[in-house]
Structure 1
Amino acid sequence: MQMRFLQFSACVLWCATLGLPTSLKADELTSAKTNNNPNTELVVDHGSPRQKTLNQKLRNTIVESVEFKENTLEESMNWIAANYDIQIVYDERSLAEEAIDRHEPEVNLALQNIRLSTLLTLLLAPYDSEYISEDGILMVTTQSVAKSKLETVVYNMSSLEDCGWKDTSLVQVLLYRHIPNAVWTPDDPEKQVSIAQSTLIVTQSQPVQREIYQFLKTLKQAPKQDAKKARKGARRRKKEKQSPNANGRLVPRSRSIWKRWLLWSQ
């Protein structure tokens, strides 16, 4: 016991002689871990500085309280433009073709602590409209026009790896399953999602990109146990060779002949 104490004392004296720290505080350890992974943003913003500013404002701004009573769409959008310094324009031609009147008083909302992007979606829903952004300007247009305009967004998977989602291909499969409004067409390269190192490169419409961002953010906030369960389930499904039944349902061949026949006949 005395020998261990002497060894410890000698180690402390040696560190003091060399000017090395003998201990680290908790906040110093946290900062050290943070510095090892400085790039933890979920989206790698691209485009002009104005576009980056607008994207971050839409994603990160929380509206504490808002209430609209029988307001028109134009009145509601003017309130957002004035309070959050956003330039808003209207796609007059597309709105007129679908007989969308922004002067109709159809906005009735009373919300608290809501993200600005979500608030915009709710305001436009009664008018069957959507919004897109380009070069720092927000445009109100029809849903068909918004779906037709594609953009490519790079998602930083390293921020998800720290939360346990290390298999980027698994995240890709989850996107295929849980983003119903997306168009995943393997034969069309413009609408595919690809993997490059620790990034997902997705080309979809802006409304779908907003859904993908919220989904990935949910994964990022999910416990690590969920990521482990998802990986185990993916490996199990990969091992089980499956064959489609009469209705197109996949049936594992590893089951007994009787169970396979029952599932096949469903």
Structure 2
Amino acid sequence: MQIAAIQMVSGPEVARNLERARHWLEQARARGAELAALPEYFCLMGHADTDKLALAETPGAGPIQQMLAEAARELGLWIIGGTLPMKAAAAEAGAAARVRNACCVFAPDGSLAARYDKIHLFRYDNGREHYDEGRVLEAGAAPTAVQTGPLRTGLSVCYDLRFPELYRAAALGGPCDLLSVPAAFTYTTGQAHWELLLRARAVENQAYVIAPAQGGRHENGRRTWGHTMIVDPWGLVLGCLEEGEGLVTAELDPARLAQVREQLPALQHRVL
């Protein structure tokens, strides 16, 4: 199965971001992809974290979800839709406004196949850079895997990559063939840990990893690490786009997956 990971350098204009996302989804299909994945925050990289509050959609309604559903149906693609801001449950009186950072997966008929809400919220402060997603995001709670055609795909988002237990939990219903990690890693943390963690998750779960990323300098002044990758279950990087818009494609080979798991049956050797 041919898969494609899309890299973007999204800005504050949602319509423009959706236009670019649709362009790259079309390019993925033209290159033979049956499944394509967009990066975290593909629809918005605003000037402030709170910008996403005004754009939050309700489940099943809104221009971002509409674009993803239409693209999936018109292109005949499985689409892992990066993330989009989804309205959280009604907050208690006096509580700060929150949204969920939701990853929606659409089937080739345009239907919603699964939704995963980012569980682990990023916070980082090295004295120069300051991030705290918890100021505007409400954490999800449920590990999620979904059947995407022949593949069982485990869903995660960005900072989730640092928590290997999430991927084990997603595989409780059966081993995942593919792990999805749409991301907007900072340049600092990405340079240090991005490839290391992606390859580790692939090796320890004996699964392919698709990691579409934000990659470049954004209008809001932020620089993201990029290095969109597809990694095989032995930890080999099958393709990488360092910076700028574009996509990475690779063939997901069931025989390769079976070979790795047969030769080194680590998943069968788990004790804890």
Global fold match (TM > 0.5): no
Structure 1 or 2: larger helix share?
1
TM-score (norm 1): 0.25
Task: Give the structure with higher Rg (CA).
Answer: 1
**Per chain length, whose mean CA-contact separation is higher, i.e. which structure has more relative contact order (CA < 8 Å, sep 6+)?**
2
